[in-house]
């Protein structure tokens, strides 16, 4: 068989199991997208632009101001000649937001997790990781060659048992998301922090979906729980409407990552105009306007959850990620297709992103939505749920 024949066989298998994926011409961060084929406008409930900042004029302005002198790309790794004032300023602003000594930028959140985990853990270490953790955490764990123990989702007792392993590990790490990306539920951070501390373990918390959105002033769920992880991971690609990732912790951690995180060392630095854009978003998030956007996002999320409950479609969690589990792949695909037909964009989330049998619609709320948008979504879901005979799984 030629390579293409082999690959095609695999793709056919994916198609048969309802797992074939393709990119969508409807995509974009904003809540409204023109549909390319017909020009019809689509209402999007799948972007992670939680504060609705994607098209904020201050962000576009920050990009063009920076690009006018810095150009588009950084030109090299930070350690060679790629560092720009935009990077350092943004790092200071992120560290200040989290009331921490230091932050280090990475080109993406994905690379941040890979870089941090591989810099801190090696074959002589143990990593204890939540079963629902993001792919970038899983990949970082695997690449580190550490011993990995995956505990059942949000099960702090199981994490405790896993960390108790007798073997003479050099270092023990406990890694969790704070607000889980696919279920929209929250990690038991106070318990996990206590457990990590009792085992002398390093606590790493990925706040990709929390920072800017939840916690006091958008400072995330560790801040809300009064917990101080040794490392907080975040992304600039979601609430902060730009692109990039960061790790926050001590100044020694920052220096160590600069020296050991391969995903920082051997890659071109984040484009300076993008860092400038993230700074602009961070400033909006830190203002009274940001507080208003967070309140609006929460309010709309509550409206959606209440409406879904009334339809007999209960969901987990309390935040801007609303997960409607539908079971097998085909069911989620049919629901997504029917929504698209009605002008609403919510792609089906299927394995291996989520466990088999838990294919779902992952609905995300943005402060850019209106109450009427949410009512429209509820109306369509109501029609579909009776037409399809849905009951949430
Ligand atoms: C999105 C996400 C990432 C990756 O961030 P990017 O900046 O998009 O690469 C990491 N962790 C979690 C939990 C995420 O949801």
Q: Which domains does the chain have, with CATH numbers?
A: 25-55+288-388 (3.90.1150.10), 57-285 (3.40.640.10)
pLDDT at 27: 61
* pLDDT, tens digit (0-9, with 9 covering 90-100), for 335-361: 999 999 999 999 999 999 999 999 999
Atom of ligand 1 nearest to the CA of 209: 15
More confident residue, 25 or 162: 162
pTM here is 0.95
Atom of ligand 1 nearest to the CA of 136: 10
pLDDT at 208: 98
From 48, 206, 208, mutation site for ligand 1 pocket: most ligand atoms within 8 A of C-beta: 208
Map residue 323 onto helix, strand or coil: strand
pLDDT at 24: 76
From 46, 131, 134, mutation site for ligand 1 pocket: most ligand atoms within 8 A of C-beta: 134
Chain centroid to Cα 324, Å, comes to 18
pLDDT at 390: 67
pLDDT at 214: 98
Q: Is the pLDDT confidence value at 171 over 70?
A: yes
* Ligand 1 geometric centre to CA of 312 (Å): 31
Q: Is the pLDDT confidence value at 392 over 90?
A: no
> What average pLDDT does range 231-243 have in this prediction?
98
Q: What is the mean pLDDT of the chain?
A: 94
Residue 130 CB less than 6 A away from ligand 1: no
Q: Is the pLDDT confidence value at 287 over 70?
A: yes
> What average pLDDT does range 162-167 have in this prediction?
93
* Ligand 1 geometric centre to CA of 93 (Å): 20
pLDDT at 385: 83
Q: What are the strands of the beta sheet with 126-130, ordered from one edge?
A: 102-106, 245-249, 231-235, 202-206, 172-177, 126-130, 147-151
> What average pLDDT does range 227-242 have in this prediction?
98
pLDDT at 219: 98
pLDDT at 34: 57
Residues 342 and 221: their CA atoms lie apart, in Å, by 35
* Ligand 1 geometric centre to CA of 331 (Å): 26
Q: Is the pLDDT confidence value at 77 over 70?
A: yes
Residue 347 CB less than 6 A away from ligand 1: no
pLDDT at 40: 74
> What average pLDDT does range 34-57 have in this prediction?
84
* pLDDT, tens digit (0-9, with 9 covering 90-100), for 264-278: 999 999 999 999 999
pLDDT at 38: 63
Q: Is the pLDDT confidence value at 28 over 80?
A: no
* Ligand 1 geometric centre to CA of 235 (Å): 6
70 CB-near residues (< 8 Å, 6+ apart):
84, 86, 271, 272, 273
Residue 178 CB less than 6 A away from ligand 1: no
Atom of ligand 1 nearest to the CA of 133: 13
> What average pLDDT does range 101-124 have in this prediction?
98
More confident residue, 393 or 60: 60
In the chain, the percentage of residues whose pLDDT exceeds 90 is 89
Is-contact 350 361, C-beta < 8 A?
no
Strands 202-206 and 172-177: parallel
Q: Quickly count: other Cβ atoms within 10 Å of residue 223's Cβ.
A: 23
Q: Which of 15-29, 72-86, 167-181, 213-227 has the lowest mean pLDDT?
A: 15-29
Catalytic site residues? 48, 134, 177, 181, 206, 209, 238
Atom of ligand 1 nearest to the CA of 181: 15
Nearest to 178 by CA among 227, 135, 246, 138: 227
pLDDT at 393: 52
* Ligand 1 geometric centre to CA of 272 (Å): 20
CA-proximal residue: ligand 1, atom 2 (nearest)? 208
> What average pLDDT does range 151-157 have in this prediction?
98
* Ligand 1 geometric centre to CA of 134 (Å): 7
Task: Grade residue 37 by pLDDT with cuts at 50, 70 and 90.
Answer: low
pLDDT at 26: 63
From 27, 47, 107, 110, mutation site for ligand 1 pocket: most ligand atoms within 8 A of C-beta: 110
Is-contact 104 256, C-beta < 8 A?
no
Peptide bond into 352 cis (omega under 30): yes
């Amino acid at each position: 068989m030629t390579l293409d024949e082999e690959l095609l066989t695999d793709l056919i298998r994916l198609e048969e199991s309802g797992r074939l994926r393709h990119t969508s011409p409807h995509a974009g961060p904003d809540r409204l997208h023109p549909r390319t084929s017909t020009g019809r406008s689509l209402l999007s409930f799948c972007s992670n632009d939680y504060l609705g900042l994607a098209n904020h004029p201050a962000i576009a302005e920050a990009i063009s101001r920076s690009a006018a002198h810095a150009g588009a790309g950084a030109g090299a790794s930070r350690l060679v000649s790629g560092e720009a004032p935009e990077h350092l300023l943004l790092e200071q602003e992120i560290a200040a937001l989290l009331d921490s000594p230091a932050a280090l930028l990475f080109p993406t959140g994905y690379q941040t997790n890979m870089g941090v985990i591989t810099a801190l853990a090696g074959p002589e270490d143990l990593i204890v990781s939540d079963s629902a953790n993001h792919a970038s955490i899983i990949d970082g764990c695997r690449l580190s060659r550490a011993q990995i123990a995956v505990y059942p989702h949000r099960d702090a007792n199981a994490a405790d048992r896993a960390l108790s392993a007798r073997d003479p590990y050099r270092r023990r790490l406990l890694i969790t998301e704070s607000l889980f990306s696919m279920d929209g539920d929250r990690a038991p951070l106070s318990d996990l922090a206590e457990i990590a501390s009792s085992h002398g373990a390093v606590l790493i918390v990925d706040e990709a979906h929390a920072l800017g959105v939840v916690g006091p002033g958008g400072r995330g769920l560790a801040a809300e729980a009064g917990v101080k992880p040794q490392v907080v991971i975040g992304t600039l690609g979601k609430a902060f409407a730009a692109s990039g990732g960061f790790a926050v912790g001590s100044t020694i951690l920052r220096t160590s990552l600069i020296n050991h995180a391969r995903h920082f060392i051997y890659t071109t630095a984040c484009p300076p105009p993008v860092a400038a854009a993230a700074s602009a978003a961070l400033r909006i998030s830190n203002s009274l306007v940001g507080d208003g956007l967070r309140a609006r996002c929460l309010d709309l999320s509550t409206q959606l959850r209440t409406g879904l409950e009334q339809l007999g479609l209960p969901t987990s969690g309390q935040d801007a990620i609303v997960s409607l589990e539908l079971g097998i792949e085909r069911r989620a695909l049919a629901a997504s297709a029917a929504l698209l037909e009605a002008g609403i964009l919510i792609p089906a989330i299927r394995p291996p992103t989520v466990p088999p049998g838990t294919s779902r619609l992952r609905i995300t709320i943005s402060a850019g939505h209106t109450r009427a948008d949410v009512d429209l979504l509820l109306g369509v879901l109501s029609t579909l749920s009776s037409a399809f005979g849905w009951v949430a799984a």
